[in-house]
């Protein structure tokens, strides 16, 4: 597996020189400064790639080439937007960059209500509080229909939180929810968010799927011609919020997407944290079911609560069996190698991370601290090394060899 690191380019407070010290060899990034819907110029791509190469890295995944909201809404004449998207793809391919992670979440990207929730032994983490999200929907945005979207006990807790909250608390909640839009220029206050939601009036799951199918029809043929690999990122959180449908939340959704465009270019970003926040998802089982379509992996963990809340756990803690998940990815890599596939090496990155030690002083993008992700990468590196050793040892035993005798990682 190819160790990678998300870097926000000139916007990032962590330098490529510091990332080099983590041991990662791949960079995952995008041209975040370019507004959605505009063409990524080849020259700008080449300059970013050159800066990455000069620091000793490969640009292994684009995360992401954003999809304009009008495409998600199916609004108006989309000819120019699709043409711009395909041109950006062609410019990336011309510079030797062929893997694109993207999402199809309407309006908001990943969503959290708390960006600095305390962790038991020190540090902070990202958290999604169902009562706080319900409070935002009901009392800040004024979406009364949200009463039907949450259990009654969550609505009651939302009312209690709102009554006890100050204007500063409410402003912080809104800013936290908006923080998951790293490349967008728009940040909404409550009035702006309510207005933006009106553009999605009447949008249901079937309609959003229809718009997604059109995107795949427009983009996948070009992706095939360019030798590109697209990998959709699951919804985060994997549930409807603000009355907006989410359609990449479980195994059934993933199956629909991969069947909607039967193309080698149509693949999956296996995000353990996003999928893991859905109580019905068995993440290692999903990885094994769709193994042949996984082009990129986000490895992180979450700890769920009965009311629908969850928070980021340490990478080897939480509800997902990370060792089993990594084993599934290594098994798929072995299959690809044996089959002679060129792209057998699955890039992964330690996704999110606790703010530890002096991370808070850096004021990095929420969820993307240096020390916390370095801890996660080190833990994952150990799991990969242990499983790889165990595999070699077992293979040696099967061949009657005494090579590799030692401690076997179960």
Q: Of the listed 68, 211, 298, 393, which one is catalytic? A: 298
CA separation, residue 385 to residues 111, 200, 285, 300, 372 (Å): 33, 47, 22, 18, 20
Parent domain of 154: 114-198
pLDDT single digits (tens) 152-167: 999 999 999 999 999 9
pLDDT single digits (tens) 252-270: 999 999 999 999 999 999 9
Q: Of the listed 150, 188, 200, 368, which one is catalytic? A: 368
| Element of type H or E holding 230 | strand 229-232
Query: Where a domain ends, among 175, 198, 221?
Result: 198
Question: 166 and 43, same structural domain?
Answer: no
Q: Of the listed 109, 235, 351, 359, which one is catalytic? A: 351
Question: 298 and 370, same structural domain?
Answer: yes
Q: Of the listed 101, 125, 231, 271, which one is catalytic? A: 271
Q: Of the listed 211, 352, 354, 393, which one is catalytic? A: 352
At 188 the pLDDT is 85
pLDDT single digits (tens) 277-317: 999 999 999 999 999 999 999 999 999 999 999 999 999 99
Give the separation between CA 323 and CA 367, rounded to whole angstroms. Answer: 22
Question: 352 and 215, same structural domain?
Answer: yes
pLDDT single digits (tens) 369-384: 999 999 999 999 999 9
Q: Is residue 404 part of a domain?
A: no
Task: Report how many domains make up the chain.
Answer: 2
Q: Is 310 within 8 Å of 350 (Cβ atoms)?
A: no
Give the CATH number of the domain where residue 57 resides.
Answer: 3.20.20.150
Query: Where a domain ends, among 198, 227, 252?
Result: 198
Question: 259 and 325, same structural domain?
Answer: yes
Question: 160 and 216, same structural domain?
Answer: no
Our answer to whether residue 233 is catalytic in this structure is yes
Q: Is residue 385 part of a domain?
A: yes
Our answer to whether residue 231 is catalytic in this structure is no
First vs last Cα of the chain: how many Å apart?
19
Question: 120 and 29, same structural domain?
Answer: no
Q: Is 238 within 8 Å of 265 (Cβ atoms)?
A: no
Q: Is residue 132 part of a domain?
A: yes
Our answer to whether residue 77 is catalytic in this structure is no
Our answer to whether residue 109 is catalytic in this structure is no
Q: Of the listed 98, 233, 354, 393, which one is catalytic? A: 233
Q: Is residue 407 part of a domain?
A: no
At 76 the pLDDT is 96
Our answer to whether residue 352 is catalytic in this structure is yes
Q: Is residue 304 part of a domain?
A: yes
Query: Where a domain ends, among 163, 198, 233?
Result: 198
Question: 389 and 297, same structural domain?
Answer: yes
Our answer to whether residue 315 is catalytic in this structure is no
Length of the chain: 410
- pTM score: 0.93
Question: 224 and 369, same structural domain?
Answer: yes
Question: 105 and 170, same structural domain?
Answer: no
């Amino acid at each position: 597996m190819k160790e990678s690191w998300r870097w926000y380019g000139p916007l990032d407070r962590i330098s490529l020189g510091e990332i080099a010290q983590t041991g990662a060899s791949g960079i995952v990034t995008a041209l975040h400064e370019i507004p959605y819907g505009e063409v990524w110029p080849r020259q700008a791509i080449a300059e970013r790639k050159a800066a990455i190469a000069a620091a000793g890295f490969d640009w292994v995944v684009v995360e992401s080439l954003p999809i304009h909201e009008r495409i998600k809404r199916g609004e108006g004449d989309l000819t120019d937007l699709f043409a711009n998207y395909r041109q950006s793809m062609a410019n990336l391919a011309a510079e030797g960059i062929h893997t694109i992670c993207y999402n199809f979440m309407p309006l908001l990207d990943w969503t959290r209500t708390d960006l600095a929730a305390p962790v038991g032994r020190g540090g902070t983490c990202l958290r999604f509080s169902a009562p706080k999200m319900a409070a935002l929907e009901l009392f800040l945005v004024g979406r009364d229909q949200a009463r039907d979207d949450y259990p009654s006990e969550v609505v009651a807790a939302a009312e209690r939180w709102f009554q006890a909250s100050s204007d500063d608390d409410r402003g912080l909640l809104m800013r936290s929810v908006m923080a998951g839009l790293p490349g967008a220029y728009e940040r909404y206050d409550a009035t702006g968010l309510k207005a933006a939601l009106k553009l999605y009036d009447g949008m249901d799951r079937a309609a959003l799927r229809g718009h997604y199918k059109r995107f795949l029809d427009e983009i996948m043929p070009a992706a095939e011609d360019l030798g590109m690999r697209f990998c959709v990122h699951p919804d985060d959180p994997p549930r409807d919020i603000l009355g907006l449908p989410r359609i990449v939340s479980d195994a059934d959704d993933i199956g629909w997407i991969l069947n909607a465009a039967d193309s080698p270019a149509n693949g999956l970003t296996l995000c353990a944290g996003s999928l893991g926040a859905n109580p019905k998802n068995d993440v290692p089982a999903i990885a094994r079911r769709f193994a042949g379509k996984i082009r990129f992996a986000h490895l992180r963990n979450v700890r769920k609560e009965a009311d629908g809340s969850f928070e980021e756990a340490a990478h080897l803690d939480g509800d997902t069996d990370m060792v089993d998940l990594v084993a599934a990815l290594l098994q798929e890599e072995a299959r690809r190698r044996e089959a002679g596939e060129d792209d057998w090496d699955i890039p992964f990155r330690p996704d999110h991370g606790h703010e530890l030690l002096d991370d808070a002083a850096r004021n990095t993008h929420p969820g993307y601290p240096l020390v916390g992700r370095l801890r996660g990468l080190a833990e994952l590196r150990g799991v990969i090394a242990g499983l790889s050793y165990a595999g070699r040892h077992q293979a040696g035993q099967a061949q009657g060899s005494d090579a590799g005798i030692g401690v076997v990682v179960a």
